[in-house]
Structure 1
Protein backbone atom coordinates (compact mmCIF):
# COMPACT_ATOMS: atom_id res chain seq x y z
CA UNK A 1 0.00 0.00 0.00
CA UNK A 2 0.92 3.68 -0.41
CA UNK A 3 3.32 3.08 -3.31
CA UNK A 4 1.76 6.17 -4.90
CA UNK A 5 1.10 8.15 -1.74
CA UNK A 6 -0.01 11.72 -2.57
CA UNK A 7 0.51 11.24 -6.33
CA UNK A 8 -1.88 12.71 -8.91
CA UNK A 9 -2.39 10.69 -12.07
CA UNK A 10 -4.25 11.02 -15.36
CA UNK A 11 -4.95 7.79 -17.24
CA UNK A 12 -6.61 7.90 -20.64
CA UNK A 13 -8.98 5.18 -21.79
CA UNK A 14 -9.61 4.15 -18.19
CA UNK A 15 -13.38 3.73 -18.23
CA UNK A 16 -12.83 -0.03 -18.53
CA UNK A 17 -10.31 -2.74 -19.31
CA UNK A 18 -6.67 -2.45 -18.33
CA UNK A 19 -6.91 1.33 -17.95
CA UNK A 20 -9.66 0.94 -15.36
CA UNK A 21 -7.62 -1.68 -13.54
CA UNK A 22 -4.71 0.77 -13.42
CA UNK A 23 -6.91 3.58 -12.12
CA UNK A 24 -8.49 1.51 -9.34
CA UNK A 25 -5.13 0.03 -8.30
CA UNK A 26 -3.51 3.47 -8.19
CA UNK A 27 -6.21 4.69 -5.80
CA UNK A 28 -5.67 1.63 -3.61
CA UNK A 29 -1.97 2.47 -3.55
CA UNK A 30 -2.53 5.83 -1.93
CA UNK A 31 -2.78 8.22 -4.87
CA UNK A 32 -4.29 11.55 -3.91
CA UNK A 33 -6.32 11.56 -7.12
CA UNK A 34 -6.63 9.43 -10.24
CA UNK A 35 -8.47 10.93 -13.19
CA UNK A 36 -9.78 8.78 -16.02
CA UNK A 37 -10.01 10.64 -19.32
CA UNK A 38 -12.24 8.77 -21.75
CA UNK A 39 -15.02 9.20 -24.30
CA UNK A 40 -16.75 6.08 -22.96
CA UNK A 41 -19.16 6.05 -20.02
CA UNK A 42 -17.60 4.24 -17.06
CA UNK A 43 -19.63 1.47 -15.46
CA UNK A 44 -19.95 1.71 -11.68
CA UNK A 45 -18.44 5.18 -11.59
CA UNK A 46 -20.54 6.23 -8.59
CA UNK A 47 -18.96 3.51 -6.44
CA UNK A 48 -15.38 4.33 -7.43
CA UNK A 49 -12.88 6.76 -5.94
CA UNK A 50 -11.58 7.42 -9.46
CA UNK A 51 -12.66 10.72 -11.03
CA UNK A 52 -14.11 10.17 -14.49
CA UNK A 53 -13.97 13.03 -16.99
CA UNK A 54 -14.78 13.29 -20.66
CA UNK A 55 -11.70 13.56 -22.83
CA UNK A 56 -11.49 13.07 -26.57
CA UNK A 57 -7.76 12.39 -26.80
CA UNK A 58 -7.70 13.50 -30.45
CA UNK A 59 -8.59 17.09 -29.47
CA UNK A 60 -5.71 19.18 -28.14
CA UNK A 61 -8.03 21.79 -26.65
CA UNK A 62 -9.68 19.11 -24.52
CA UNK A 63 -6.28 17.93 -23.32
CA UNK A 64 -5.45 21.48 -22.23
CA UNK A 65 -8.75 21.88 -20.41
CA UNK A 66 -8.39 18.60 -18.51
CA UNK A 67 -4.73 19.16 -17.55
CA UNK A 68 -5.43 22.76 -16.47
CA UNK A 69 -8.31 21.56 -14.30
CA UNK A 70 -6.20 18.85 -12.66
CA UNK A 71 -3.38 21.28 -11.84
CA UNK A 72 -5.83 23.92 -10.59
CA UNK A 73 -7.55 21.44 -8.26
CA UNK A 74 -4.56 19.38 -7.11
CA UNK A 75 -1.60 21.71 -7.64
CA UNK A 76 0.32 19.24 -9.77
CA UNK A 77 0.25 16.19 -12.01
CA UNK A 78 2.76 13.44 -11.25
CA UNK A 79 1.78 10.67 -13.65
CA UNK A 80 0.40 10.49 -17.18
CA UNK A 81 -0.54 7.15 -18.70
CA UNK A 82 -1.45 7.31 -22.37
CA UNK A 83 -3.56 4.17 -22.58
CA UNK A 84 -6.43 5.10 -24.92
CA UNK A 85 -6.35 3.22 -28.21
CA UNK A 86 -8.38 1.59 -30.95
CA UNK A 87 -7.45 -1.42 -33.05
CA UNK A 88 -8.58 -2.00 -36.64
CA UNK A 89 -7.51 -5.11 -38.50
CA UNK A 90 -7.08 -4.09 -42.14
CA UNK A 91 -3.83 -5.07 -43.91
CA UNK A 92 -1.99 -2.35 -45.82
CA UNK A 93 -3.79 -2.90 -49.14
CA UNK A 94 -7.17 -2.52 -47.43
CA UNK A 95 -6.17 0.44 -45.27
CA UNK A 96 -7.90 3.59 -46.48
CA UNK A 97 -6.74 7.11 -45.71
CA UNK A 98 -9.66 7.38 -43.30
CA UNK A 99 -8.73 4.20 -41.41
CA UNK A 100 -5.08 5.20 -41.20
CA UNK A 101 -5.83 8.72 -39.99
CA UNK A 102 -8.35 7.53 -37.41
CA UNK A 103 -6.06 4.94 -35.84
CA UNK A 104 -3.01 7.20 -35.84
CA UNK A 105 -5.02 10.08 -34.36
CA UNK A 106 -6.28 8.00 -31.43
CA UNK A 107 -3.27 5.76 -30.85
CA UNK A 108 -0.34 8.08 -31.59
CA UNK A 109 -1.17 11.74 -32.17
CA UNK A 110 -3.09 11.78 -28.88
CA UNK A 111 0.13 10.87 -27.07
CA UNK A 112 1.86 13.84 -28.66
CA UNK A 113 -0.94 16.11 -27.43
CA UNK A 114 -0.88 14.63 -23.93
CA UNK A 115 2.88 14.76 -23.43
CA UNK A 116 3.17 18.24 -24.90
CA UNK A 117 0.51 19.50 -22.49
CA UNK A 118 1.77 17.78 -19.34
CA UNK A 119 5.51 18.20 -19.75
CA UNK A 120 5.72 21.90 -18.75
CA UNK A 121 3.99 21.10 -15.44
CA UNK A 122 6.32 18.19 -14.73
CA UNK A 123 9.42 20.14 -15.75
CA UNK A 124 8.45 23.00 -13.44
CA UNK A 125 8.47 20.59 -10.48
CA UNK A 126 11.47 18.58 -11.76
CA UNK A 127 9.59 15.31 -11.51
CA UNK A 128 7.08 13.20 -13.37
CA UNK A 129 6.45 9.79 -14.87
CA UNK A 130 4.95 9.27 -18.33
CA UNK A 131 3.91 5.80 -19.44
CA UNK A 132 2.89 5.27 -23.05
CA UNK A 133 0.99 2.04 -23.62
CA UNK A 134 2.15 0.31 -26.77
CA UNK A 135 1.78 -3.42 -27.49
CA UNK A 136 3.82 -6.47 -28.35
CA UNK A 137 2.98 -5.38 -31.90
CA UNK A 138 5.20 -2.39 -31.27
CA UNK A 139 8.09 -4.86 -31.05
CA UNK A 140 7.30 -7.59 -33.59
CA UNK A 141 5.54 -7.98 -36.92
CA UNK A 142 2.02 -9.30 -37.27
CA UNK A 143 -0.16 -9.85 -40.37
CA UNK A 144 -2.86 -7.23 -40.98
CA UNK A 145 -3.59 -4.34 -38.57
CA UNK A 146 -1.26 -2.08 -40.54
CA UNK A 147 -2.30 1.25 -39.00
CA UNK A 148 -2.38 -0.16 -35.47
CA UNK A 149 1.11 -1.56 -35.80
CA UNK A 150 2.36 1.70 -37.30
CA UNK A 151 1.17 3.54 -34.20
CA UNK A 152 2.33 1.00 -31.64
CA UNK A 153 5.79 0.78 -33.18
CA UNK A 154 6.19 4.55 -33.13
CA UNK A 155 5.23 4.72 -29.45
CA UNK A 156 8.43 2.92 -28.50
CA UNK A 157 10.66 5.53 -30.12
CA UNK A 158 8.73 8.63 -29.11
CA UNK A 159 8.94 7.41 -25.50
CA UNK A 160 12.70 7.05 -25.83
CA UNK A 161 12.85 10.50 -27.41
CA UNK A 162 11.06 12.19 -24.51
CA UNK A 163 13.13 10.22 -22.00
CA UNK A 164 16.34 11.40 -23.68
CA UNK A 165 15.14 14.98 -24.05
CA UNK A 166 13.75 15.51 -20.56
CA UNK A 167 15.72 13.22 -18.28
CA UNK A 168 17.70 16.18 -16.97
CA UNK A 169 14.38 17.86 -16.19
CA UNK A 170 13.46 15.06 -13.79
CA UNK A 171 10.87 13.50 -16.11
CA UNK A 172 10.87 9.75 -16.79
CA UNK A 173 9.18 8.29 -19.87
CA UNK A 174 8.72 4.60 -20.62
CA UNK A 175 6.63 2.43 -22.93
CA UNK A 176 4.54 -0.52 -21.78
CA UNK A 177 3.97 -3.44 -24.15
CA UNK A 178 1.08 -5.75 -23.20
CA UNK A 179 0.40 -8.98 -25.01
CA UNK A 180 -3.04 -10.56 -25.22
CA UNK A 181 -4.90 -9.03 -22.27
CA UNK A 182 -8.60 -9.73 -21.77
CA UNK A 183 -10.26 -6.34 -22.34
CA UNK A 184 -13.10 -4.63 -24.21
CA UNK A 185 -10.68 -3.82 -27.05
CA UNK A 186 -10.35 -7.46 -28.07
CA UNK A 187 -13.64 -8.93 -26.91
CA UNK A 188 -14.92 -8.93 -30.52
CA UNK A 189 -11.74 -10.50 -31.88
CA UNK A 190 -12.21 -13.74 -33.81
CA UNK A 191 -11.92 -16.84 -31.58
CA UNK A 192 -9.22 -18.34 -33.78
CA UNK A 193 -7.07 -15.21 -33.30
CA UNK A 194 -7.54 -15.38 -29.53
CA UNK A 195 -6.66 -19.09 -29.49
CA UNK A 196 -3.51 -18.49 -31.53
CA UNK A 197 -2.40 -15.69 -29.20
CA UNK A 198 -2.87 -17.87 -26.13
CA UNK A 199 -1.11 -20.80 -27.78
CA UNK A 200 1.83 -18.54 -28.56
CA UNK A 201 2.42 -17.56 -24.94
CA UNK A 202 4.78 -19.43 -22.65
CA UNK A 203 2.16 -19.33 -19.89
CA UNK A 204 -0.61 -20.67 -22.20
CA UNK A 205 -3.25 -18.22 -21.04
CA UNK A 206 -4.53 -14.73 -21.66
CA UNK A 207 -3.38 -11.92 -19.41
CA UNK A 208 -5.65 -10.15 -16.94
CA UNK A 209 -5.98 -6.35 -16.79
CA UNK A 210 -4.62 -6.28 -13.24
CA UNK A 211 -1.37 -7.85 -14.48
CA UNK A 212 -0.78 -4.92 -16.80
CA UNK A 213 -1.85 -2.56 -14.02
CA UNK A 214 0.86 -3.83 -11.67
CA UNK A 215 3.49 -3.22 -14.34
CA UNK A 216 2.19 0.33 -14.80
CA UNK A 217 2.23 0.80 -11.02
CA UNK A 218 5.93 -0.04 -10.90
CA UNK A 219 6.81 2.39 -13.70
CA UNK A 220 4.68 5.13 -12.14
CA UNK A 221 6.09 4.72 -8.64
CA UNK A 222 9.31 5.97 -7.09
CA UNK A 223 10.50 2.36 -7.11
CA UNK A 224 11.28 2.97 -10.80
CA UNK A 225 13.16 6.20 -10.12
CA UNK A 226 16.13 4.97 -12.17
CA UNK A 227 14.03 3.52 -15.01
CA UNK A 228 13.49 5.66 -18.09
CA UNK A 229 13.59 5.18 -21.83
CA UNK A 230 12.83 1.49 -21.47
CA UNK A 231 10.15 -0.82 -22.89
CA UNK A 232 8.47 -3.11 -20.38
CA UNK A 233 6.84 -6.21 -21.91
CA UNK A 234 3.89 -7.91 -20.19
CA UNK A 235 2.98 -10.72 -22.58
CA UNK A 236 3.08 -14.08 -20.82
CA UNK A 237 6.28 -14.86 -22.68
CA UNK A 238 4.80 -14.47 -26.19
CA UNK A 239 7.95 -12.82 -27.51
CA UNK A 240 10.32 -15.07 -25.55
CA UNK A 241 10.90 -17.88 -28.11
Structure 2
Protein backbone atom coordinates (compact mmCIF):
# COMPACT_ATOMS: atom_id res chain seq x y z
CA UNK A 1 0.00 0.00 0.00
CA UNK A 2 1.54 3.26 -1.15
CA UNK A 3 0.27 6.49 0.33
CA UNK A 4 0.78 9.66 -1.65
CA UNK A 5 -0.27 13.24 -1.02
CA UNK A 6 0.81 14.86 -4.26
CA UNK A 7 -1.12 18.09 -4.76
CA UNK A 8 -2.17 18.26 -1.10
CA UNK A 9 -1.35 21.04 1.35
CA UNK A 10 -0.80 20.08 4.99
CA UNK A 11 -0.32 22.02 8.22
CA UNK A 12 1.40 20.26 11.12
CA UNK A 13 1.69 22.01 14.48
CA UNK A 14 4.43 21.23 16.97
CA UNK A 15 6.46 20.03 14.00
CA UNK A 16 9.87 21.29 15.10
CA UNK A 17 10.76 18.08 16.91
CA UNK A 18 9.49 14.69 18.04
CA UNK A 19 6.25 13.30 16.66
CA UNK A 20 5.38 16.45 14.72
CA UNK A 21 8.77 16.46 13.02
CA UNK A 22 8.37 12.82 11.96
CA UNK A 23 4.89 13.51 10.59
CA UNK A 24 6.06 16.55 8.65
CA UNK A 25 9.01 14.67 7.17
CA UNK A 26 6.86 11.70 6.13
CA UNK A 27 4.24 13.99 4.59
CA UNK A 28 6.96 15.76 2.64
CA UNK A 29 8.33 12.44 1.40
CA UNK A 30 4.82 11.46 0.32
CA UNK A 31 4.44 14.55 -1.85
CA UNK A 32 2.51 17.03 0.30
CA UNK A 33 3.37 20.68 0.57
CA UNK A 34 3.93 20.95 4.32
CA UNK A 35 3.62 24.00 6.51
CA UNK A 36 5.93 23.13 9.40
CA UNK A 37 4.65 25.07 12.41
CA UNK A 38 6.33 25.29 15.80
CA UNK A 39 6.72 27.63 18.75
CA UNK A 40 10.46 27.64 17.96
CA UNK A 41 10.96 29.34 14.59
CA UNK A 42 14.48 27.98 14.16
CA UNK A 43 13.34 24.39 14.64
CA UNK A 44 10.46 24.87 12.21
CA UNK A 45 12.82 26.27 9.61
CA UNK A 46 15.28 23.40 10.09
CA UNK A 47 12.60 20.76 9.52
CA UNK A 48 11.25 22.62 6.47
CA UNK A 49 14.79 22.80 5.09
CA UNK A 50 15.19 19.03 5.50
CA UNK A 51 12.01 18.40 3.54
CA UNK A 52 13.11 20.71 0.75
CA UNK A 53 16.62 19.21 0.71
CA UNK A 54 15.04 15.77 0.20
CA UNK A 55 13.14 17.04 -2.84
CA UNK A 56 9.87 17.96 -1.13
CA UNK A 57 7.95 21.17 -0.60
CA UNK A 58 7.74 22.93 2.75
CA UNK A 59 7.50 26.33 4.36
CA UNK A 60 8.10 27.11 8.03
CA UNK A 61 5.63 28.81 10.33
CA UNK A 62 6.13 29.97 13.88
CA UNK A 63 4.07 31.06 16.85
CA UNK A 64 2.18 29.97 19.94
CA UNK A 65 -0.89 27.98 18.90
CA UNK A 66 -2.54 28.88 22.20
CA UNK A 67 -3.15 32.24 20.48
CA UNK A 68 -6.07 31.99 18.03
CA UNK A 69 -4.63 34.79 15.90
CA UNK A 70 -1.46 32.74 15.41
CA UNK A 71 -3.44 29.68 14.36
CA UNK A 72 -5.52 31.69 11.91
CA UNK A 73 -2.32 33.16 10.48
CA UNK A 74 -0.72 29.71 10.07
CA UNK A 75 -3.76 28.43 8.19
CA UNK A 76 -3.74 31.51 5.98
CA UNK A 77 -0.05 30.85 5.30
CA UNK A 78 -0.85 27.28 4.26
CA UNK A 79 -3.59 28.43 1.91
CA UNK A 80 -1.30 31.07 0.43
CA UNK A 81 1.46 28.51 -0.11
CA UNK A 82 -0.66 25.74 -1.61
CA UNK A 83 -3.78 27.49 -2.81
CA UNK A 84 -5.91 25.44 -0.39
CA UNK A 85 -5.73 23.41 2.81
CA UNK A 86 -6.35 19.66 2.65
CA UNK A 87 -4.74 18.20 5.77
CA UNK A 88 -4.33 19.33 9.36
CA UNK A 89 -2.43 17.64 12.18
CA UNK A 90 -3.06 19.26 15.55
CA UNK A 91 0.04 17.87 17.22
CA UNK A 92 1.40 20.68 19.41
CA UNK A 93 1.21 19.85 23.09
CA UNK A 94 2.90 20.16 26.46
CA UNK A 95 3.14 17.90 29.48
CA UNK A 96 2.52 20.52 32.15
CA UNK A 97 3.20 20.35 35.89
CA UNK A 98 2.91 17.13 37.88
CA UNK A 99 1.05 17.57 41.16
CA UNK A 100 -1.99 16.24 43.01
CA UNK A 101 -5.20 18.06 42.15
CA UNK A 102 -5.35 19.61 45.61
CA UNK A 103 -2.01 21.28 44.97
CA UNK A 104 -2.16 21.74 41.20
CA UNK A 105 -0.87 25.19 40.14
CA UNK A 106 -3.60 27.28 38.58
CA UNK A 107 -1.33 28.79 35.95
CA UNK A 108 -0.10 25.32 34.99
CA UNK A 109 -3.68 24.10 34.53
CA UNK A 110 -4.53 27.07 32.33
CA UNK A 111 -1.44 26.68 30.16
CA UNK A 112 -2.04 22.96 29.57
CA UNK A 113 -5.63 23.65 28.55
CA UNK A 114 -4.56 26.53 26.32
CA UNK A 115 -2.07 24.42 24.36
CA UNK A 116 -3.49 20.89 24.51
CA UNK A 117 -7.18 21.63 24.07
CA UNK A 118 -7.97 25.20 23.08
CA UNK A 119 -5.33 25.22 20.34
CA UNK A 120 -6.87 22.10 18.79
CA UNK A 121 -10.25 23.83 18.73
CA UNK A 122 -8.64 26.86 17.07
CA UNK A 123 -7.02 24.63 14.48
CA UNK A 124 -10.31 23.03 13.51
CA UNK A 125 -12.25 26.29 13.81
CA UNK A 126 -10.10 28.00 11.20
CA UNK A 127 -9.09 25.01 9.06
CA UNK A 128 -12.55 23.56 8.45
CA UNK A 129 -13.87 26.57 6.47
CA UNK A 130 -10.82 26.33 4.18
CA UNK A 131 -11.30 22.58 3.76
CA UNK A 132 -14.93 23.15 2.82
CA UNK A 133 -13.77 25.52 0.08
CA UNK A 134 -11.39 22.80 -1.16
CA UNK A 135 -14.14 20.17 -1.25
CA UNK A 136 -13.03 18.26 1.82
CA UNK A 137 -10.07 17.27 3.91
CA UNK A 138 -8.74 15.21 6.77
CA UNK A 139 -7.75 16.13 10.31
CA UNK A 140 -5.79 14.18 12.89
CA UNK A 141 -5.75 15.39 16.49
CA UNK A 142 -2.93 14.09 18.66
CA UNK A 143 -4.42 12.80 21.90
CA UNK A 144 -2.70 10.23 24.14
CA UNK A 145 -3.31 6.99 25.94
CA UNK A 146 -4.22 9.41 28.72
CA UNK A 147 -7.28 10.30 26.71
CA UNK A 148 -8.78 7.02 27.91
CA UNK A 149 -6.98 6.18 31.17
CA UNK A 150 -5.84 8.19 34.17
CA UNK A 151 -2.35 9.02 35.39
CA UNK A 152 -1.80 10.31 38.92
CA UNK A 153 -0.51 13.88 39.25
CA UNK A 154 -1.23 14.73 35.59
CA UNK A 155 -4.75 16.03 36.05
CA UNK A 156 -4.57 18.87 33.52
CA UNK A 157 -3.00 16.73 30.81
CA UNK A 158 -5.43 13.85 31.35
CA UNK A 159 -8.44 16.18 31.38
CA UNK A 160 -7.34 17.94 28.18
CA UNK A 161 -6.74 14.68 26.32
CA UNK A 162 -10.07 13.19 27.43
CA UNK A 163 -11.80 16.35 26.21
CA UNK A 164 -9.94 16.11 22.92
CA UNK A 165 -11.57 12.76 22.17
CA UNK A 166 -15.01 14.29 22.59
CA UNK A 167 -14.13 17.30 20.46
CA UNK A 168 -12.89 14.99 17.72
CA UNK A 169 -16.14 13.02 17.70
CA UNK A 170 -18.24 16.17 17.52
CA UNK A 171 -16.26 17.52 14.56
CA UNK A 172 -16.45 14.16 12.80
CA UNK A 173 -20.25 14.07 13.14
CA UNK A 174 -20.71 17.65 12.03
CA UNK A 175 -18.64 17.40 8.85
CA UNK A 176 -18.79 13.76 7.74
CA UNK A 177 -21.37 14.54 5.05
CA UNK A 178 -19.17 17.38 3.80
CA UNK A 179 -16.17 15.15 3.07
CA UNK A 180 -14.10 16.14 6.09
CA UNK A 181 -12.87 13.31 8.30
CA UNK A 182 -11.59 13.89 11.84
CA UNK A 183 -9.78 11.24 13.89
CA UNK A 184 -7.43 11.18 16.84
CA UNK A 185 -4.44 9.12 17.89
CA UNK A 186 -3.49 7.97 21.37
CA UNK A 187 0.25 7.43 21.61
CA UNK A 188 1.73 5.83 24.71
CA UNK A 189 5.04 7.19 25.97
CA UNK A 190 7.12 8.09 22.94
CA UNK A 191 10.87 8.57 23.09
CA UNK A 192 10.97 12.28 22.21
CA UNK A 193 12.60 15.39 23.70
CA UNK A 194 9.59 15.72 26.04
CA UNK A 195 11.02 12.82 28.07
CA UNK A 196 14.49 14.29 28.30
CA UNK A 197 13.81 15.92 31.66
CA UNK A 198 12.72 12.74 33.43
CA UNK A 199 14.54 11.95 36.69
CA UNK A 200 16.93 8.98 36.86
CA UNK A 201 15.13 5.66 36.65
CA UNK A 202 11.87 7.14 35.43
CA UNK A 203 12.46 6.30 31.79
CA UNK A 204 13.26 2.68 32.67
CA UNK A 205 10.01 2.49 34.63
CA UNK A 206 8.08 3.77 31.64
CA UNK A 207 9.69 1.18 29.38
CA UNK A 208 8.63 -1.56 31.81
CA UNK A 209 5.03 -0.33 31.63
CA UNK A 210 4.82 -1.19 27.93
CA UNK A 211 4.25 -4.90 27.17
CA UNK A 212 6.38 -4.69 24.01
CA UNK A 213 9.39 -3.81 26.20
CA UNK A 214 10.23 -0.45 24.66
CA UNK A 215 8.98 3.08 24.30
CA UNK A 216 7.44 4.14 21.04
CA UNK A 217 9.37 6.18 18.51
CA UNK A 218 8.04 9.15 16.57
CA UNK A 219 7.88 7.24 13.29
CA UNK A 220 5.47 4.74 14.89
CA UNK A 221 2.97 7.54 15.35
CA UNK A 222 3.73 9.26 12.06
CA UNK A 223 2.97 6.12 10.06
CA UNK A 224 -0.52 5.85 11.57
CA UNK A 225 -1.09 9.58 11.12
CA UNK A 226 -0.35 9.39 7.40
CA UNK A 227 -2.69 6.43 7.00
CA UNK A 228 -5.54 8.27 8.74
CA UNK A 229 -4.96 11.35 6.57
CA UNK A 230 -4.95 9.30 3.39
CA UNK A 231 -7.76 8.10 1.15
CA UNK A 232 -6.92 4.57 2.33
CA UNK A 233 -8.75 5.55 5.54
CA UNK A 234 -11.74 7.08 3.75
CA UNK A 235 -14.26 5.12 5.88
CA UNK A 236 -12.58 5.91 9.21
CA UNK A 237 -14.08 8.91 10.96
CA UNK A 238 -14.52 10.03 14.55
CA UNK A 239 -12.22 7.27 15.80
CA UNK A 240 -9.54 7.04 18.47
CA UNK A 241 -6.55 4.90 17.54
CA UNK A 242 -3.96 3.73 20.08
CA UNK A 243 -0.27 3.42 19.28
CA UNK A 244 0.74 2.14 22.67
CA UNK A 245 2.68 -1.12 22.51
CA UNK A 246 -0.11 -2.83 24.44
CA UNK A 247 -0.15 -0.33 27.33
CA UNK A 248 -3.93 -0.02 27.46
CA UNK A 249 -4.51 -3.76 27.04
CA UNK A 250 -3.26 -4.37 30.58
TM-score between the two structures when normalised by the length of structure 2: 0.92
Q: Does 1:61 align with 2:69?
A: yes
Mapped to 1, the partners of 2:218 and 2:239 lie a distance apart of 21
Q: Does 1:120 align with 2:120?
A: no
Structure 2 runs not aligned, ≥5 long: 53-57
Deviations 1:18-74 (A, max 9, x none): 10000001111111x111111113174444323221121011111122211221231
**Matched ranges for 1:53-92 at <5 A:** 53-88=61-96, 89-92=98-101
Mapped to 2, the partners of 1:215 and 1:64 lie a distance apart of 26
Deviations 1:143-179 (A, max 9, x none): 1111111111111110001001111111100011000
Is the contact made by 1:15 and 1:52 (CA closer than 8 Å) also made in structure 2?
no
Is the contact made by 1:127 and 1:170 (CA closer than 8 Å) also made in structure 2?
yes
Q: Report how far residue 141 of structure 1 moved.
A: 1.1
Q: Does 1:7 align with 2:16?
A: no
Q: Report how far residue 2 of structure 1 moved.
A: 5.1
- Any runs of at least 4 consecutive aligned residues in structure 1 with deviations exceeding 6 A, and if so which? none
Tell me the matched-pair count.
240
**Matched ranges for 1:191-210 at <5 A:** 191-210=200-219
Mapped to 2, the partners of 1:73 and 1:200 lie a distance apart of 43
Q: Report how far residue 137 of structure 1 moved.
A: 0.6
**Higher deviation after alignment, 37-46 or 21-30:** 37-46
Which residue does the alignment assign to 2:156?
Answer: 147
Is the contact made by 1:9 and 1:77 (CA closer than 8 Å) also made in structure 2?
yes
